[in-house]
């Protein structure tokens, strides 16, 4: 219902694993004094939502860019039209440009970007449903890219797995012990 408080519903929707991952990211960032921005396409703000679901996250989370369209990627993050035309929205190059664009457009230390094909349609032989590109960038120049092919496992599952992957990448860049960049 419009106007009704849905905070309990949102808490129930966020899995305990994602809640723990978001808490770890926030704690690692606090320890190092880092702030974060997200640049999201196929996840539509879910990474920022997972982080801000945790009380007190405002000392770490600065902003989230939801850039679902190519025009939004260009306008909000400065992704060059040539990158989108040559490589497409779902590509390593676009994910990296999104992460670097978030750093350029926000006074933060870390940024994570996600662009992919959640489905159920929109895939092709070269870029199937479930293909997601991630990039995480740090103001000090560190940059990590990951490509995941989750498969046609359902739109919601692709998006939730993408949130988990993005949080893990932020934890790595924040100096966590989630393992080496892949």
pTM of the predicted model over 0.75 = yes
Structural domains of the chain ordered from first start: 7-173 (3.90.950.20)
| HSE, side-chain direction, 13 A CA sphere, residue 141 | 0
Instruction: Give residue-wise pLDDT tens across range 59-92.
Output: 999 999 999 999 999 999 999 999 999 999 999 9
Nearest to 139 by CA among 67, 66, 50, 33: 33
The whole-number pLDDT of residue 12 equals 53
The sign one gets for the Cα dihedral 169, 174, 177, 181 is positive
């Amino acid at each position: 219902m419009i106007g009704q408080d849905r905070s309990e519903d949102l808490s129930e929707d966020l899995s305990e694993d994602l809640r723990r991952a978001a808490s770890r990211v926030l704690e690692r960032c606090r320890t190092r004094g880092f702030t974060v921005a997200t640049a999201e396409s196929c996840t539509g703000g879910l990474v920022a939502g997972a982080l801000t679901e945790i009380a007190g996250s405002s000392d770490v989370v600065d902003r989230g860019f939801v850039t679902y369209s190519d025009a939004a990627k260009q306008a909000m993050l400065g992704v060059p039209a040539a990158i989108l035309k040559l490589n497409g929205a779902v590509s390593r190059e676009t994910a990296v440009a999104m992460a670097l664009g978030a750093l350029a457009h926000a006074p933060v230390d870390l940024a994570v970007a996600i662009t992919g094909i959640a489905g159920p349609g929109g895939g092709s032989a070269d870029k199937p449903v479930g293909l997601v590109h991630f990039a995480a960038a740090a103001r000090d120049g560190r940059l990590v890219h990951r490509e995941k092919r989750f498969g046609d496992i359902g739109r919601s599952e692709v998006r939730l797995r993408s949130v988990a992957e993005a949080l893990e990448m932020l934890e790595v860049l924040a100096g966590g012990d989630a393992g080496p960049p892949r």
